[in-house]
């Protein structure tokens, strides 16, 4: 049996993630690239296996990355051995320099379900942001909550490069009061009928309502906050969109 940690990407989870999400969606990547400028320092917290960070490097930008999952960072280093990345909890990332642009794509901040910890992370982003800098990130919304599943069901099945079957089983429960989507998951690796490896993941996401994150950002000292509902920068007006994207400065 593998490790069970909340929102920690282990070896099987990382393998499936790489198969399904090897490259960043073009519209999302272009959106985050649009804020980048040559000669400025860029930081991607929660950078994972580098599907955003690596293209930034390829475009010649000065970017650094941080992630807690050593498995994810190992995949990143295979793609870009010289990448400036460290394995750490972003809360403990030292404020040794300021960044002109910080971005967290793909709703990764929603993986932080403890709102006190979320506030600490937002405060850390403010401390790391240079004057006139931009902090841009996305969160999932209550509009995207999953249907209730009391039993594990096969969600995804893929073939690995070795020809093994990698299967993901998931069940879902939404806590209305906490606005938290609980999706405990089981990853299983098979060679035919033989189970080679199993890994459990305690996957949780906080789903945001309109106006909720803005309050936290203002409390942390961000003065300029724009909230979008898509990568074309349509202004968000309610909860009826799958994501909120925030553009913030101090």
Tens of pLDDT along 172-219?
A: 999 999 999 999 999 999 999 999 999 999 999 999 999 999 999 999
Question: Given this model, what pLDDT does residue 140 score?
Answer: 97
**Mean pLDDT for the stretch of residues 131-151:** 95
Which residues form the domain of 176? 146-206
**Mean pLDDT for the stretch of residues 30-45:** 98
Buried b (16+ CB within 10 A) or exposed e, 229-247: bebeeeebeebebebbbbb
Question: Given this model, what pLDDT does residue 4 score?
Answer: 32
Residue 3 domain-assigned (yes or no)? no
Answer yes or no: do 41 and 71 share one domain: yes
Question: Given this model, what pLDDT does residue 3 score?
Answer: 37
What digits encode the pLDDT tens for the residues 73-84? 999 999 999 999
Residue 17 domain-assigned (yes or no)? yes
Q: Could you write out the three-class secondary structure of 52-99?
A: CHHHHHHCCCEEEEEECCHHHHHHHHHHCCCCEEEECCHHHCCCCCCE
**Mean pLDDT for the stretch of residues 42-62:** 97
Residue 8, pLDDT > 90, answer: no
Residue 130 domain-assigned (yes or no)? yes
What average pLDDT is seen over the chain? 94
Instruction: Work out how many domains the chain is built from and give that number.
Output: 2
Question: Given this model, what pLDDT does residue 7 score?
Answer: 61
Answer yes or no: do 137 and 178 share one domain: no
Residue 5 domain-assigned (yes or no)? no
Look up residue 35 and give its DSSP letter. Answer: T
Question: Given this model, what pLDDT does residue 2 score?
Answer: 37
Residue 58, pLDDT > 50, answer: yes
Stated as kind and residue range, the H or E segment containing 239 is none
What predicted TM-score, i.e. pTM, was given to this entire model? 0.92
Helices (H), the chain: 11-20, 26-33, 53-58, 70-79, 115-128, 212-219
Tokens encoding 14:
């990382």
Residue 1, pLDDT > 60, answer: no
Answer yes or no: do 86 and 182 share one domain: no
For residue 91, what is the domain's CATH number?
3.40.50.150
Handedness of CA 113, 171, 230, 14 (dihedral sign): positive
**Mean pLDDT for the stretch of residues 222-240:** 97
Q: Is 221 helix (H, G, I), strand (E, B) or coil?
A: coil
């Amino acid at each position: 049996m593998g490790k069970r940690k909340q929102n920690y990407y282990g070896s099987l989870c990382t393998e499936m993630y790489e198969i399904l999400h090897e490259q960043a969606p073009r519209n999302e990547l272009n959106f985050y690239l649009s804020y980048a400028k040559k000669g400025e320092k860029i930081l991607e917290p929660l950078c994972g296996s580098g599907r955003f960070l690596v293209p930034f490097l390829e475009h010649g930008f000065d970017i650094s990355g941080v992630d807690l999952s050593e498995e994810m960072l190992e995949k990143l280093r295979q793609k870009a051995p010289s990448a400036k990345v460290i394995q750490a909890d972003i809360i403990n990332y030292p404020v040794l320099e300021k960044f002109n642009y910080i971005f967290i794509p793909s709703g990764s901040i929603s993986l932080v379900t403890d709102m006190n910890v979320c506030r600490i992370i937002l405060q850390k982003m403010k401390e790391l942001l240079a004057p006139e800098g931009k902090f841009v990130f996305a969160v999932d919304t209550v509009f995207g909550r999953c249907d209730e599943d009391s039993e594990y069901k096969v969600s995804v099945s893929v073939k690995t490069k070795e020809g093994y079957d990698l299967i993901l089983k998931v069940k879902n429960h939404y806590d209305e009061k906490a606005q938290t989507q609980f999706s405990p998951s089981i990853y299983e690796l098979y060679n035919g009928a033989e189970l080679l490896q199993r890994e459990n993941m305690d996957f949780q996401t906080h789903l945001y309502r309109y106006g909720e994150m803005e309050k936290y950002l203002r409390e942390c000292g961000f003065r300029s906050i724009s909230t979008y509902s898509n990568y074309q920068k349509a202004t968000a007006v309610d909860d009826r969109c799958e994501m909120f994207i925030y553009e913030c400065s101090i």
